[in-house]
Structure 1
Amino acid sequence: MSDPSAAGPTIDPMDTSAGNRFAPYSPENHSAPLWIVSILGLIYTIGVLSIRLFIKRRVFGWDDSLIVAGTLTGLVQAIVFFKALKSGLGQVPEHVPNLSTTASLAFTAQILLLIALYLAKCSGILLLRRLFVRDQQNTGRLCDVVLGFTVVCGIATVVMSSAGCPSTGSFTTHCSSTNTRWSVVTALDIATEVILLLLPAYLVWQLQMKTSYKLRVIAAFCFRILVIIFSIFHLIARIKYADTQPSPFNIVTTLVWHQTLLAWGLISATIPNLKAFLQSLSASWGGADWGYTVKAYGNGTFEMKSMGTQSRSHAMASTTGTENATDMDQKYETQIQTRQVGERSSLGSGGSQDMIIRKETVWTVVRS
């Protein structure tokens, strides 16, 4: 009978020292979920932004600039967050070499995350202004007021979440009135998101287009509903964390929801821009021309095909009623001036490349 000790040492599957794991998961180390959600969020965010830059490369606007700034801020946040993970974030305090450094990095990442989140909100508002507002002063003022309110909420959120809180000591003691602070932060976040959901519905419902098309436009902006849901989940996790001992280990669930909130906040700001990319892949969105197009439109003159004998007779009888039969052989030229759905120059725009979502067509039929 063989000696059991001769089979070699038994490896404990919960021992993080066994093997060379990138992100070990054990009862004393929960950093793996943080690595996963932050890396995946960064990949998806940069991928969606790359598609947007490809679509909007010829009509790059302020809304695109802000989403680029938000994504870059999110990238810096991810780098700081990765450093915090390497220094012990997600582990029990006994395994963290320098608790104050880890706390400072996590605190900095939190502020950058909030800034990136509100840059994405402002980008969405400027996109709405670019799409729906042209010469209408009332809707223009409305978008400006909403933009100003969002900026104020963003500043208040950053101040509320960080003022009076020791950055290096955030894992040794909770910030004063932490539940009240984050309840206000979440309330501001939800308030701005509700406005971003209602504003496109209000603007598009004034347009002369089919109801089904209006609903599709609204649906493109409704993906931000998940931002509200993730924000609520983050608040619940934050309140639960406030009832425990502050540590880089107990805060893992809170940070998972926060990273998810940031990723979807940036991604959902680009979703209304993706129709042109789907069109290039022969995807069907119901055939409605309410989104962007990769082709340029503008003022132009087009010569139409000559009418058939029967069509010419019908057209002439309905317009003049006194034309001679010899006039049926004449061709007609139609000049079309179009303010087209989507992008590039428009009627009376002076060569502007601003995008709008209205469509106005002027027909002039000239007998040649």
Structure 2
Amino acid sequence: MQVQTFGDGPRFSPVTSSDHAGQLWIVTILALVYSTLVSTARAYVKYKMFGIDDILIAFATILQLAQCIAIFVGLGTGGLGKFNSITTPAQWATSSKSTLAAIILGFLTMCLSKCSLLALVLRIIGRKTGKSRPICIAMMVVSALWGVGSCVAYLSNCRADTLLTPDNITQCPGQETRWAVITAIDIFTEVAAWLLMVELTWKVNMSAARKLQVIMAFSFRLPLAVLAGLHLFYFHRYPSAAEPQFAVIDSLLFQQAMISWSLISATVPNLKNFLKSFSLGMGFPLAYDDTMTGSGGAYAMRSFANSRFKGTAVGAGNTGVVSTTISARRRSEAGLPAQPSQHGWPAEGVLSGQATEGQPYATSSREHVDEDASSRTGSQDMIISKEIAWKITYEDRS
């Protein structure tokens, strides 16, 4: 078959009435680029704060890359996307094997993506008592079983080299039924995870606007249910088609969209705006990460000349740097003049983090941090913050 030319030269994969491989090339490459960029951004904003959810999403990203490579093999050396009538049986076998490998790797990628999101919810719940934690763990188990079970169900009683041949119905029977069950469980787990997050968020004592913001962050998973339904609809067309290599393209396009969106939507709740909005404040020693630092609401404490401090922490936790509410007994209450610090900053301005007239540099300690560190720290705000109250008194050394 001659390569079609357009304009000044040949095209890499021209789309014709008998060849739609170019469409799959484009969608697969874009899906890989988008998800990789989002995963890279996630790694940047959570640098040195990685948890089990980040490890799972990293493995999912690697599996997506392997899945894309399988698709590229089918497109490059096989006949994937082309009519069976214009390709050879050897190409049928190659495209069949590569497509089956891509489907299995797709199952595992979406499985790890589900588990990553549920692991994030589990970190949010922390040590909170109640039914939410065991339910979340049970859903992680169900999601893991779904991923493994989908692979086993699709591989059983199916010859890998006949998946996209004209006699695939006899060699791989019941493909529509398998996909229907897999899709139903997939949609159920996605909706159940979203409902769990809604139930958890609605119990938190915070404004309705912040509740909706958190819910919206996790609502990015819901379009996966629509994509799964569309994938199932187009998948039903290919087994009985006269040109299965060509007919399977539509379902593979939606498969790439599902995998990419699964990775992207699992990262959205980790972004700064959504993390800042979620603060439980219910008295539980909860935090996004027990070793997390870098809260944007913290202010540096300075030493004061000729003063001795006695500090008492109320409800101290182990969550690292957190926002603090400070009540200080000022020297004026004892009839003494205000004592400036060695840096010339009034005590009230430093403790409260508020600038006084003539002291614009006391507005925030972040202005002394370089721009790169500031942007990274701002992206690491805790998803759950705990407020600690301090009572500070001081005595004149003289």
Shorter-normalised TM range: 0.7 to 0.9
Cα drift, residue 24 of structure 1: 1.1
Q: 2:141 aligns with which of 113, 123, 148?
A: 148
Q: 1:44 aligns with which of 13, 27, 34?
A: 34
The one-letter code of the counterpart of 2:147 is G
Question: Are residues 1:253 and 2:243 paired?
Answer: no
Q: How do 1:175-324 residues align onto structure 2 when only pairs under 5 Å count?
A: 175-245=172-242, 247-275=244-272, 289-290=277-278, 296-297=294-295, 302=301
Q: 1:32 aligns with which of 10, 22, 26?
A: 22
Long gaps (5+) in structure 1: 1-13, 277-284, 306-318, 337-352
The one-letter code of the counterpart of 1:150 is S
Corresponding residue for 1:96? Answer: 87
Corresponding residue for 2:384? Answer: 357
Q: Is the 8 A contact 2:276 2:383 kept in 1?
A: no
Question: Are residues 1:366 and 2:393 paired?
Answer: yes
Q: 1:165 aligns with which of 158, 162, 168?
A: 158
Question: Are residues 1:73 and 2:73 paired?
Answer: no
Q: Secondary structure at the match of 1:366?
A: strand
Q: Is the 8 A contact 1:130 1:355 kept in 2?
A: no
* RMSD (CA atoms): 3.4
Greater shift in the superposed pair: 51-60 or 239-248: 239-248
Q: How do 1:327-346 residues align onto structure 2 when only pairs under 5 Å count?
A: 327=335, 329=337
Q: Secondary structure at the match of 2:393?
A: strand
Corresponding residue for 1:348? Answer: none
Percentage of identical aligned residues? 32
Q: Is the 8 A contact 1:207 1:358 kept in 2?
A: no
Q: Whole-Å Cα distance in 1 between the matches of residues 141 and 382 of structure 2?
A: 22
Q: Is the 8 A contact 2:238 2:244 kept in 1?
A: no
Q: Whole-Å Cα distance in 2 between the matches of residues 355 and 324 of structure 1?
A: 37
Corresponding residue for 1:17? Answer: 4
Q: Whole-Å Cα distance in 2 between the matches of residues 149 and 188 of structure 1?
A: 9
Q: Secondary structure at the match of 1:363?
A: strand
Q: 2:54 aligns with which of 54, 64, 69?
A: 64
The one-letter code of the counterpart of 2:221 is R
Q: Is the 8 A contact 2:218 2:268 kept in 1?
A: yes
Q: Secondary structure at the match of 1:207?
A: coil
Greater shift in the superposed pair: 158-167 or 110-119: 158-167
TM-score normalised by L of structure 1: 0.76
Q: What are the superposed Cα offsets for residues 148-183 of structure 1, whole Å, 9 maximum, x if unpaired?
A: 111111122222222111111111213212221111
Q: Is the 8 A contact 1:335 1:364 kept in 2?
A: no
Q: Is the 8 A contact 1:29 1:91 kept in 2?
A: yes
Q: Whole-Å Cα distance in 1 between the matches of residues 164 and 278 of structure 2?
A: 50
Q: 2:126 aligns with which of 117, 133, 157?
A: 133
After superposition, the Cα gap between the structure-2 partners of 1:165 and 1:324, relative to the gap in structure 1 and judged at 3 Å, is closer
The one-letter code of the counterpart of 2:212 is L
Runs of 4+ in 1 over 4 A off after TM superposition: 291-295, 297-301, 323-326, 328-336, 353-356
Q: Is the 8 A contact 1:130 1:356 kept in 2?
A: no
Q: Is the 8 A contact 1:122 1:147 kept in 2?
A: yes
Q: Whole-Å Cα distance in 2 between the matches of residues 365 and 94 of structure 1?
A: 84
Cα drift, residue 326 of structure 1: 4.4
Q: Is the 8 A contact 2:276 2:382 kept in 1?
A: no
Q: Secondary structure at the match of 1:104?
A: helix
Q: What are the superposed Cα offsets for residues 231-281 of structure 1, whole Å, 9 maximum, x if unpaired?
A: 0000110122234236211111111111111111111111112226xxxxx
Long gaps (5+) in structure 2: 280-287, 305-326, 340-346, 353-379
Q: What are the superposed Cα offsets for residues 2-24 of structure 1, whole Å, 9 maximum, x if unpaired?
A: xxxxxxxxxxxx97433421111
After superposition, the Cα gap between the structure-2 partners of 1:146 and 1:247, relative to the gap in structure 1 and judged at 3 Å, is same
Q: Is the 8 A contact 1:139 1:203 kept in 2?
A: yes
The one-letter code of the counterpart of 1:296 is G
Q: What are the superposed Cα offsets for residues 211-243 of structure 1, whole Å, 9 maximum, x if unpaired?
A: 211111111110111111100000110122234
**For this pair of structures, how many residues does the alignment match?**
315
Q: How do 1:97-116 residues align onto structure 2 when only pairs under 5 Å count?
A: 97=88, 98=90, 99-116=92-109
Q: Is the 8 A contact 2:107 2:150 kept in 1?
A: yes
Q: What are the superposed Cα offsets for residues 59-81 of structure 1, whole Å, 9 maximum, x if unpaired?
A: 01110011010000000110111
Q: 2:44 aligns with which of 38, 54, 58?
A: 54
Q: Whole-Å Cα distance in 1 between the matches of residues 11 and 332 of structure 2?
A: 90
Q: Whole-Å Cα distance in 2 between the matches of residues 275 and 324 of structure 1?
A: 41
Q: Whole-Å Cα distance in 1 between the matches of residues 332 and 383 of structure 2?
A: 45
TM-score normalised by L of structure 2: 0.71
